[in-house]
Amino acid sequence: MTQMTLAKALTNGMRTAMESDPKVLLMGEDVGKLGGVFRVTDGLQKDFGEDRVIDTPLSESGILGTAVGLALRGYRPVCEIQFDGFVYPAYDQIVSQVAKMRFRSLGRLPMPIVIRIPFGGGIGAVEHHSESPEAQFAHTAGLKVVACSNPADAYWMVRQAIASDDPVVFLEPKRRYWEKADVDETATPVPLHSSRVVREGTDVTVLAYGPMVKTSLEAAIAAAEEGTSVEVVDLRTLSPLDMGPVLDSIRKTGRAVVVHEAVVNLGMGAELAARISEDAFHSLESPVLRVGGFDTPYPPSRIEEEYLPDLDRVLDAVDRSCAY
Amino acid sequence: MSVAAATTSYAARRARRAGAAQPPVAVIPGPNDEGVQVSHVTADRAPEALESGRDGPRELVQLLTPEGERREHPDYRCDLDDDAVRGLYRDLVLTRRIDTEATALQRQGELGIWASLLGQEAAQIGSGRALRDQDYVFPTYREHGVAWCRGVDPLRLLGLFRGVDQGGWDPRDSNFHLYTIVIGAQTLHATGYAMGLQRDGAVGTGDPDRDAGVVAYFGDGATSQGDVNEAFIWASVFNAPVVFFCQNNQWAISEPIERQTRIPLYQRALGFGFPGVRVDGNDVLACHAVTAAALQRARDGGGPTFVEAYTYRMGAHTTSDDPTRYRLTEDLENWKLKDPVARVKAYLTRGGLVDDTFLAELEAESDALAERLREACLAMPDPDVLDIFDQVYAEPTDELVRQKGEFAAYLASFEGASA
């Protein structure tokens, strides 16, 4: 058991994957000598060489397009997109090529590619550095989408994503990179595509992932002081969704609030609300509520703290759900 | 051999040529001429910025004229024997027949659409026959002739256009990737695959059975795509063993080459740091020689080459297109005089290299192939709609299993349903 930051947990997870499988390659802008702009790949090029940790041209479509070719040759590329807002130049390669290759080849050509994306706001960045594009990828058949929220999950989930024979969009909560927690590198991890109750409660279920898990846990502590018992589920996997723990929780509490930074319109909350109403309609005491980004582009950073869902907005939704 | 080592050996080769008056990247060794500076490649001459993309085949590598006469070239030599040339002619004839039959099948409603290669047979057969087994090909959706060279049953090509699959052949068997319809995307796949070859030690070892290269096919329209330009950059900076084989057929659906470029396409290679060469795309011998040299350069660790096969799309873009709306009959008539198949026949018959028996047997083979294709195409079964749920991921997700089950039950609920 070692205490480490979420960023360091990712580094260690990738290091372990590279040690155990020589076909694992890292590629991205500044991932080599610099160790990535967030230092998530720090030291890996030094240890594994320039052939396995590749500083690429500034060319996101190139990163994903060449990753397709490398995967066809038997490699397992782990691609870093430097910031969420930079993934769109690679969108065609991800959606039209990576996601569909297995399907259009009648299952013959797997695409074991991991697309790491630091996502979400809260770090005072300039525009295009604070976005939450997860729903766009979760909407694409052929991709899998996961988001880690803490160092232990970061370590195990990145290893599991690399071992997956399906392409995985791996979302990293960039504002939580520097948060520390214990990581047991000898533990037995839960499956990659599983959701988990991270705080038990009886009155309301809060569904969150990535950076909003911590916010939701803080809201649950505050709610408890006011006498409301909030259960928090860390979704972890956004595609496929793991509805089992979600529905179990809602059958217990009868109420659900979904929290994410991404805009609410057609976001993960919309899908969750639909699935909950389909599969747990008779357990619901109130409509599923959503707390998320407004339907605007991400705002300038001086007002992002007001824009981003925070403890108070989560509590407000919890109150509304209970009062219904 | 590691990538670093491959790069070193390339650098060493460059250093050996350091005394040459021209930039070393200008050199593309022809099969008959190891490393002598040549005049027709991009890098040893300044780009003429305002030269039209259509402007003239004056730097064209040509080994067989439209009249069927052999030409010598200082840097490229046809080293194929008579049997091999007869083989190329057979490939050309059969490929054209596949194309004609597919167009007919579309006209009769058996295919949803067909992308004809009419006029581009020599570019595809010439380059396709320069491949070795271990080389790998990334095609567009029009490389029916290259598929033929790779041993892909043409029936498998029809599946995509009939709508029964999205690529029915196994690329691992033929080293011929699935067709790519999003223009230019496959050039990056080719470059990535080539980077994989470097990492596998399959480049520059000197072992002719091991060293491999990749050919990325694309057209003139694709050269305007970002992905193609990114592929050029990646291949260049990583010295990847890839041949960018551009069939400049003058038309991107209705848009002429002038809408894609202000300079001859092959000259663009200079800006990316590797050689470009323009070859008569209707000359199967020249296409073979130029591609063989470029592939060997790639296999040897010499890096990428851009080949512009200067040709003409004699048919429509696809069977849904109507070229009479945007181009002149006169153009087509002029290009018919440069037909890629007729010139080889003229060469073979004039030289007494084929007799009537050969030609009659080839025609019979061609008829039989067309008949088999037609019958097999009509007999091609529709896929089972319930199979689609199983091919999205390595294992179907719980949600897909649920959807499949519910849909199967729904289908079975109809009277007389077989499920």
ipTM of the shown complex: 0.97
Helix A311-323 and helix A212-225: axis angle, to 10°? 60
Instruction: Tell whether B396 lies on the interface with A, counting CB pairs under 8 A.
Output: no
- In this structure, what is the dihedral angle of CA atoms A173, A178, A181, A183, given to the nearest 10 degrees? 80
B326 catalytic residue (yes or no)? yes
How far, in Å, CA of B43 to CA of B369, rounded? 44
Q: Where are the domains of chain B?
A: 3-378, 385-419
Instruction: Tell whether B216 lies on the interface with A, counting CB pairs under 8 A.
Output: no
Tokens 């991009």 correspond to B42
Q: Which of B182, B189, B394 sits opposite A165 (nearest CB)?
A: B394
Q: Is A104 helix (H, G, I), strand (E, B) or coil?
A: helix
B410 catalytic residue (yes or no)? no
Q: Where are the domains of chain A?
A: 2-183, 196-323
CB-CB under 8 Å, B171 with A59: no
How far, in Å, CA of B75 to CA of B58, rounded? 16
Q: Is A153 helix (H, G, I), strand (E, B) or coil?
A: helix
Q: What's the pTM value of the predicted model, to 2 decimals? A: 0.92
A195-219 burial code (b ≥16 CB/10 A, e <16)? bbbbbebebbbbbbbbbbbbbbbeb
Alpha-carbon distances, residue B369 vs A130, A306, B344, B366 (angstroms): 59, 70, 21, 5
Which residues numbered 37-76 in A keep a CB inside 8 Å of some CB on B? 49-51, 56-57, 59, 61-62, 64-75
Asked if the domains at A2-183 and A196-323 fall in one CATH topology, the answer is: yes
Q: Which positions of chain A have pLDDT values less than 50? A: none
Q: Please give the pLDDT value at position B418.
A: 62
Residue A183 parent element (H or E):
strand A180-183
Q: Is A2 helix (H, G, I), strand (E, B) or coil?
A: strand
Residue B330 parent element (H or E):
helix B329-336
CATH topology of domain A2-183: Rossmann fold (3.40.50)
Instruction: Tell whether A278 lies on the interface with B, counting CB pairs under 8 A.
Output: no
In the sheet that holds B242-248, the strands lie side by side as B136-138, B214-219, B242-248, B305-310, B276-280
As assigned by CATH, the class of the B3-378 domain is: alpha beta
Instruction: Tell whether B48 lies on the interface with A, counting CB pairs under 8 A.
Output: no
How far, in Å, CA of B2 to CA of B203, rounded? 9
Chain B CB contacts of A164 below 8 Å: 394
CB-CB under 8 Å, A96 with B185: yes
Helix A151-163 and helix A6-20: axis angle, to 10°? 30
Instruction: Tell whether B191 lies on the interface with A, counting CB pairs under 8 A.
Output: yes
**pLDDT means per 10 residues in chain B (419 residues)?**
44 41 40 41 37 55 97 95 98 98 97 97 98 98 98 97 96 97 97 98 98 98 98 98 97 94 96 98 98 98 98 93 91 95 98 97 98 98 96 97 97 80
CB-CB under 8 Å, A107 with B171: no
CATH topology of domain A196-323: Rossmann fold (3.40.50)
Q: Which among B317, B343, B347, B374 is annotated as catalytic?
A: B317
User: What is the rounded end-to-end Cα distance, in angstroms, of chain B?
Assistant: 55
Strand-pair partners of A256: A205
